[in-house]
């Protein structure tokens, strides 16, 4: 655990060179560190997500969360920005990939970077973490109950097309954490994703939790399940220690 950390709002170029707001945190001891791009969920760039960023810094990683809604509602509250994002049907996938690429570049330029970067996302951010793994040279990707990787595109979010057919394009190990009471994705969809990744020879590690549904990592939500979340954090830490070492 690293008590001396720096957390701040900053900016870097994202997709198309657009300047993105982002929230970063990192240890201050100068030792070489891997980086983590935290991809926020559909509710947006909120306090809960920023707490995840700070937690990764305390765990010993450089971390950053780009605000994917910067262009949609600059300066708006996270609630208003998320509503605006929903109203326009979500964020285009190519834009998300470009923004994550910008976050990777920013992490790689830090003086204490060891050159390795992973992604993690919850809900729509889990889908985006999987998406990034099919386009970018990541060291690892973590999917926490990512919806719409498998299944039909909802009419209200036309940008959220299924991704399971892109499993052959995954470039890095994948850790997946899911609740067996979730309907977004369902257990059957999780099984389909795991089998498809395995059939394509990918390095995949999935864990499922009985009694847990969607958003079980959120401590301020009724959906929070402490045992599943605690075990999930242990899995996340071990996975990142393995793939971001060096």
Q: CA 94 to CA 131: how far, in whole Å?
A: 9
> What's the pLDDT tens digit per position in 173-185?
999 999 999 999 9
**Residue whose C-alpha is closest to residue 68's, from 144, 128, 153, 151:** 128
DSSP letter for each residue of 92-135: -HHHHHHHHHHHHHHHHTSTTEEEEEEEEEETHHHHHHHHHHTT
Question: Which regions of the chain are under pLDDT 70?
Answer: none
pTM of the model: 0.97
- What pLDDT, on a 0 to 100 scale, did the predictor assign at position 246? 79
**What is the rounded CA–CA span in Å between residue 71 and residue 84?**
10
* Residues 96-147: tens digit of each pLDDT: 999 999 999 999 999 999 999 999 999 999 999 999 999 999 999 999 999 9
Two structure tokens written together for 77: 């509250």
* Predicted local distance difference test score (pLDDT) of residue 169: 98
State residue 1's pLDDT score.
75
Q: Which domains does the chain have, with CATH numbers?
A: 5-243 (3.40.50.1820)
Contacts for 195 with CB less than 8 Å, ≥ 6 apart? none
């Amino acid at each position: 655990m690293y008590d001396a950390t720096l957390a701040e709002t900053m900016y870097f170029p994202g997709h198309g060179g657009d300047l993105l707001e982002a929230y970063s945190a990192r240890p201050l001891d100068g030792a070489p560190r891997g980086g983590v791009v935290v991809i926020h969920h559909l509710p947006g760039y909120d306090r809960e997500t920023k707490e995840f960023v700070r937690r990764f810094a305390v765990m010993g990683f450089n971390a950053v969360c780009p605000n994917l809604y910067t262009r949609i509602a600059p300066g708006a509250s996270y609630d208003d920005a998320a509503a605006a994002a929903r109203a326009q049907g979500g964020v285009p996938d190519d834009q998300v990939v470009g923004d994550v690429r910008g976050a990777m570049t920013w992490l790689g330029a830090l003086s204490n970077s060891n050159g390795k970067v992973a992604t993690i996302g919850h809900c729509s951010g889990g889908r985006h973490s999987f998406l990034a793994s099919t386009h970018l040279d990541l060291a690892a990707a973590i999917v926490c109950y990512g919806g719409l990787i498998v299944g039909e595109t909802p009419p209200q979010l036309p940008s959220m097309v299924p991704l399971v057919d892109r499993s052959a394009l995954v470039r890095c190990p994948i850790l997946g954490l899911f609740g067996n009471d979730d309907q977004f994705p369902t257990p059957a969809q999780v099984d389909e994703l795991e089998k498809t990744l395995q059939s394509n020879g990918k390095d995949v590690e999935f864990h499922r939790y009985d009694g847990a549904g969607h958003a079980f990592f959120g401590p301020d939500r009724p959906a929070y399940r402490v045992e599943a979340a605690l075990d999930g954090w242990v899995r996340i830490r071990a996975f990142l220690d393995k793939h971001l070492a060096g």
